[in-house]
Structure 1
Amino acid sequence: MSFTGALGLMAMFLVDLVDMLFLSMLDEKEAVAAVGFASTLMFFTVSLSIAVSIAATALVSRAIGAGDMALAKRRATHVLAFGVLFSLALVWLIWPRIPQLLYFIGANFRTLDLATDYLQILVLGMPAVMIGMIGSGIMRALGDARRAMYATLLGGVVNAVLDPILIFALDLGVEGAALASLAARFSMVAVSYYGVVHIHKMLGEFELMDFLKDVRPIAVIAVPAMLTNLSSPLANAIVMAHGADFGDDAVAAIAIIGRVIPVVFGGLFALSGAVGPILGQNYGARLFDRMYKTLSSAVIYSAIYCILLCTGLYLSQEFLIRTFSATEATAEMIRFFATFVSFSFFFQSLLFIAIAAFNNLGKPLNSTLLNFGRATLGTWPLITIFGYIMGADGVLFGQAVGSVIFGLIGFRMARRFIRELEVKSLANG
């Protein structure tokens, strides 16, 4: 589940990395910084889509674990309807306010203009992202991780093919990168729709009264999950805003690192999508021994993954610097991240595991508190202090320290919560 999820997530985030790579070839650092600012806001919208997909995974996997396929199909249909309506409302709300939002997080002058052009195109693809993510969540709940991966893999391929054509051959620059990404997002919909509807036949007829009944259980999971997921882009926005104080070189470095992280650490980001449905199904079947083994296996997986990938990132740092034509100031931040900061992602993976447990086992508010704690108390004071002491590098280091603290706290809370569920289950016979 983690491996296929990792490949799928890496492919999706590779879309942004490919955009950054081709735009860096234009030899215009404002273009790279613009995509960094735009992607910071886009991360908010993608996080909301992931939150609704978490609700789909949790509700469908529990119904399957309890042996109620009719309920699973009904919930799948209604989560999808909920997601489409919600994403359309977001497009209506965000699109006219894009310049103000970008200015708020530090974009200005030509960087602001380029970021606005990029984001105004990309935001139109939000409903496609929502449908694709929910479809993948439903397939993961069914255990079909391979087909869920195909949707995001296709998106990466479409983007990689269209980027050079639109950016260079048609000379569209930043707008070409946005159009390529938009096409990639719509390609995800086709694969997800085919898997959910034609292969698994998981969508039934939409019934308004049943939908209204299901809105509450969907919202009980989706709303706290949205708040939880919004905390990560909030932390990134705080980091980007603090980085802007050190100039466009620092912003470009943070933007490049921000695109590299999901590709390199996609296997850790995939943990929530892998651990969640496994915990959900086993909780539905009251198999607590398997739930404990899932947590232990996830930690072992994270440790091995971090050792291998962080070592690889350290060894390839100069290649990244050359590939993105980084200035010396930008290069120094990339080296600092690859050498000292990247290993903190093991502790961040502990937080991902804890969040998956709380979201899928009926305690999503805990996930919200943990992630917002990391995004606020674990980010802003620390990057302010370390930024003052260490300069631009301190912005990265402060965020890493926060990840270590909240990762350890979150994992301990998750194990204790599963133990409480087991005790309660035994007491109820």
Structure 2
Amino acid sequence: MAIQAKTSFTSGNLFRHVSVMAFTSSIGLMAIFAVDLIDIIFISMLGQESLAAAAGYASTLMFFASAVNIGLSIAAGALVAKAIGADNEVDAREYATSVAVISVIVGILIPIITLPNIDFLLSLVGATGQVAEMAASYLWIILPTTLLSGMAMTAVAVLRAYGDANRAMYPSLAGAAVNAVFDPILIFTLGFGLEGAALATVLARFVTMLVALYPAIARYRAFAIPRPRCVMRDFGDAAKIAIPAVLGTVATPVGAAIVTREMAQFGSDAVAGMAVINRMVPVVFAVVLALSGAIGPIFGQNHGAGQHKRVREAFFDGLIFVAVYVLVMSALLFLLREPIADLFDATGMMRSLIFIYCGPLALAAFFNGAIFVSNASFNNLGHPMYSTWINWGRSTLGTLPLVILGASIWGAHGVLIGQAIGGIIFAGIAVSLSMRMIDDPNRSPLKPKFLCPDERMQIMSNRCCRS
């Protein structure tokens, strides 16, 4: 019996689809990032500023591993959503399986490559001495579980492709709950400190993976038993999206590493302030961060169904949604900037950096959101390399010279200001490029093929993982 998508984005109110997908996706993200934020609060309560700085450096390197998993999940979501839009259940299942296998392989290779070189990698982002040692011990615990995170992200992306926003939200909530429970136990009760926070994250990743895989398999039969020749056959289609998506996503931690290194020259106090901001921002702007993954299935299903007018409408609804949300949250941050700084016992430079972000710099989240919406259009409409170019441009040309210039003029504050200016410039480029692509759908190399029933059945009969 055919398994139907829970929600079809090819009909109905697009702004409602965007809002529902964004908010449900963001709840899971917000839960994860809220626990990360609580980690910093707990670590700050230990009374050692160097621990917060170590967590900041470790997070920068962890972002690289997460970026690879995110890129692979983007490929899974794009391929599965397009297949669902074209009413091709078998392709949807096989693409999901192939990307899942690839994510496991990559999840094994990342720690094998990075852990023996962890001291060198930490030195690249400015970590030295005892802070570097603490960051390394944190990473030795977390990085080996990269494959768990990769499987969970792939399964969640597949659930979103089927339009099941609620079940795609539950894995992150479950993981966050586990993390929140075990954080104080491992950090304080058992006295593991920073390593306790890492162990809690490992437990959370395992639970997240289980909660994501169960509905994907039990309800949608979204994955098949992996077979080498199926994976090899589908690798090319997956790679066309996965490789550019991974490269594009990895650009973000490159930019973060550049910013961290420039901020390090102003001392551990400044790095600790930036670590707080980096943990706080994803909680506050989780809806914006979730929009790329949330709106992707909407693009993908309508693209697969050949409804290009709705693709265009979805793009603008996404931008409008981002604008409204950022304005509201920026106003709240400004009003609550003092309590937020007090929550972290922030003083001196650390407090000053939190204040400037909770002031005008929070508005820059709109431009980041515009880049996310544009990247979703690139990845789901057949031009994933555009996303790669935009992200790398944003993280290099739009970061390094501007943060250096900003630091030379305004000090530590200038690092954040330069980073925001780069986002504004590349958001304009991304939106312009997206509109050109959407207005000319014939340019897409992934333009869907509409087959007669006999042709579709012939193709399905040749698939090696058919039901």
TM-score scaled to structure 1, two decimals?
A: 0.97
> Deviation string for 1:294-338 (max 9, x for gaps)?
011111110110011111111121122111111221100110111
- Does the 8 Å CA contact 2:107/2:145 hold for their aligned counterparts? no
> Deviation string for 1:183-203 (max 9, x for gaps)?
111110111111111121111
Q: What SS does the aligned partner of 2:287 have? A: helix
Q: 1:190 aligns with which of 195, 202, 210?
A: 210
Q: Say yes or no: does 1:403 pair with 2:411.
A: no
- Write the letter of the residue equivalent to 1:277: P
How far apart are residue 75 of structure 1 and its match? Answer: 1.0
How far apart are residue 181 of structure 1 and its match? Answer: 1.0
How far apart are residue 14 of structure 1 and its match? Answer: 2.1
Task: Quote the Cα distance in structure 1 between the aligned partners of 2:40 and 2:65.
Answer: 19
Q: 1:141 aligns with which of 145, 161, 184?
A: 161
Match of 1:347 in 2: 367
1:13-28 residue pairs with structure 2 within 5 A? 13-28=33-48
* Structure 1 runs (4+) greater than 3 angstroms displaced: 422-426
Q: 1:61 aligns with which of 81, 84, 102?
A: 81
1:20-419 residue pairs with structure 2 within 5 A? 20-419=40-439
How far apart are residue 15 of structure 1 and its match? Answer: 2.8
Match of 1:6 in 2: 26
Task: Quote the Cα distance in structure 1 between the aligned partners of 2:271 and 2:323.
Answer: 30
Task: Quote the Cα distance in structure 2 between the aligned partners of 1:18 and 1:187.
Answer: 19
- Write the letter of the residue equivalent to 2:296: G
- Write the letter of the residue equivalent to 1:309: M
How far apart are residue 422 of structure 1 and its match? Answer: 5.5
How far apart are residue 232 of structure 1 and its match? Answer: 0.9
Task: Quote the Cα distance in structure 1 between the aligned partners of 2:220 and 2:29.
Answer: 22
Task: Quote the Cα distance in structure 2 between the aligned partners of 1:226 and 1:218.
Answer: 11
Q: CA RMSD in A?
A: 1.4
- Does the 8 Å CA contact 1:15/1:181 hold for their aligned counterparts? no
Task: Quote the Cα distance in structure 2 between the aligned partners of 1:317 and 1:186.
Answer: 35
- Does the 8 Å CA contact 1:298/1:353 hold for their aligned counterparts? yes
TM-score scaled to structure 2, two decimals?
A: 0.90
- Does the 8 Å CA contact 1:140/1:277 hold for their aligned counterparts? yes
How far apart are residue 205 of structure 1 and its match? Answer: 2.2
- Does the 8 Å CA contact 1:159/1:183 hold for their aligned counterparts? yes
My pick for the range that moved more, 322-331 or 233-242, is 322-331
- Does the 8 Å CA contact 1:15/1:155 hold for their aligned counterparts? no
My pick for the range that moved more, 282-291 or 387-396, is 282-291
Task: Quote the Cα distance in structure 1 between the aligned partners of 2:336 and 2:280.
Answer: 12
- Does the 8 Å CA contact 1:288/1:422 hold for their aligned counterparts? no
My pick for the range that moved more, 95-104 or 60-69, is 95-104
How far apart are residue 423 of structure 1 and its match? Answer: 8.0
> Deviation string for 1:253-272 (max 9, x for gaps)?
11110111111111001111
Q: What SS does the aligned partner of 2:260 have? A: helix
Match of 2:459 in 1: none
- Write the letter of the residue equivalent to 1:397: I
Task: Quote the Cα distance in structure 2 between the aligned partners of 1:359 and 1:15.
Answer: 29
> Deviation string for 1:365-385 (max 9, x for gaps)?
110000110101110000101
Task: Quote the Cα distance in structure 1 between the aligned partners of 2:287 and 2:443.
Answer: 32
Change (3 A) 1:90 1:423: closer
Match of 2:18 in 1: none
Aligned residues: 427
> Deviation string for 1:38-57 (max 9, x for gaps)?
00110111111110000000
Gaps of 5+ in 1: none
Task: Quote the Cα distance in structure 2 between the aligned partners of 1:31 and 1:285.
Answer: 51
- Write the letter of the residue equivalent to 1:200: Y
Q: What SS does the aligned partner of 1:226 have? A: helix
Task: Quote the Cα distance in structure 2 between the aligned partners of 1:59 and 1:45.
Answer: 22
Task: Quote the Cα distance in structure 1 between the aligned partners of 2:323 and 2:134.
Answer: 39
Task: Quote the Cα distance in structure 2 between the aligned partners of 1:93 and 1:379.
Answer: 27
Match of 2:462 in 1: none
- Does the 8 Å CA contact 1:76/1:202 hold for their aligned counterparts? yes
- Write the letter of the residue equivalent to 1:408: G
Task: Quote the Cα distance in structure 2 between the aligned partners of 1:391 and 1:413.
Answer: 34
Task: Quote the Cα distance in structure 2 between the aligned partners of 1:422 and 1:215.
Answer: 24
Identity %: 41
- Write the letter of the residue equivalent to 1:262: P
Task: Quote the Cα distance in structure 2 between the aligned partners of 1:245 and 1:189.
Answer: 39
How far apart are residue 124 of structure 1 and its match? Answer: 1.6
Task: Quote the Cα distance in structure 2 between the aligned partners of 1:104 and 1:375.
Answer: 16
